[in-house]
């Protein structure tokens, strides 16, 4: 168990510098650099670290008014579309505030949202320890999806009145299989305190690695930002840096 825990923690620590990201950065290294500013519309330290390791120069800004993360029934029934919609809301809210300041220049804003999904049900951040325990009990011994959606908005504003705006959103999915967990293991993990701002009540890059048997797909997606795919699909991010 200790070996598996240590192995997963090591993989998570190295994820921000994985070969996929390095290759994507190298492929775009020769592109001429446009004068884009880049904003990450997230306070997540994990997303910040992944984007920094990918070689992107950016600032962090979140909306003054928190984004409404409630979901209409049709979105709640479609987790991938729900994650994409929330990523768009987060980036779009920052765009609105920036443009209200009479912004001039070229800007890229990145919004992201991560969801844990089991049997079509979305697991958000736990509201309490009992909620976290309930989530982890359901995930125990099962394979669940982790969907991270990324919305990238581009603004070209030669003047504050002359604005061109466009955006594109994608979602990436990985699969995580938990060990069969005892109630004691769940309680002990929750005591560590890293669950309460994490979808599904665990962090694979932290002590939550001890809960995981294996995963399939991109570890960056599970952590919160599929950096390699982001750079491939939006090479201006690297060029701007």
Burial class (CB in 10 A: 0-12, 13-18, 19+), 58: buried
Catalytic residue positions, numbered:
113
Three-class SS of the chain: CHHHHHHHHHHHHHHCCCHHHHHHHHHHCCCCCCCEEEEECCCCHHHHHHHHHCCCCCEECCCCCCCCCCCCHHHHCCHHHHHHHHHHHHHHHHHHHHHHCCCCEEEEEEEEEEEEEECCEEECCCCCHHHHHHHHHHHCCCEEEEEEEEEEEEEEECCCCCCEEEEEEEEEEEEEEECCCCHHHHHHHHHCCCCCCCHHHCCCCCHHHHHEEEEECCHHHHHCCCHHHHHHHCCHHHHCC
């Amino acid at each position: 168990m200790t070996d598996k825990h240590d192995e997963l923690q090591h993989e998570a620590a190295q994820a921000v510098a994985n070969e996929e990201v390095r290759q994507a950065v190298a492929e775009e290294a020769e592109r001429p650099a446009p004068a884009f500013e880049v904003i990450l519309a997230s306070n997540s330290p994990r997303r910040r670290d992944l984007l920094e390791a990918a070689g992107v120069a950016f600032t962090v800004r979140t909306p003054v008014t928190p984004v409404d993360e409630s979901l209409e029934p049709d979105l709640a029934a479609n987790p991938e579309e729900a994650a994409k919609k929330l990523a768009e809301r987060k980036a779009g809210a920052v765009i609105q505030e920036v443009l209200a300041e009479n912004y001039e220049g070229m800007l890229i804003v990145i919004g992201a949202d991560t969801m844990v999904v089991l049997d079509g049900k979305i697991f958000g951040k736990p509201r309490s320890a009992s909620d976290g325990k309930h989530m982890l009990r359901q995930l125990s011994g099962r394979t669940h999806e982790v969907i991270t959606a990324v919305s990238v908005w581009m603004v070209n504003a030669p003047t504050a009145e002359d604005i061109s705006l466009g955006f594109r959103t994608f979602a990436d999915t990985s699969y995580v299989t938990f060990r069969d967990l005892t109630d004691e293991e769940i309680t002990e993990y929750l005591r560590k305190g890293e669950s309460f701002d994490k979808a599904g009540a665990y962090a694979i890059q932290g002590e939550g690695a001890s809960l995981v048997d294996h995963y399939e797909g991109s570890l960056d997606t599970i952590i919160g930002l599929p950096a390699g795919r982001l750079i491939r699909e939006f090479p201006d991010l690297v060029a701007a840096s």
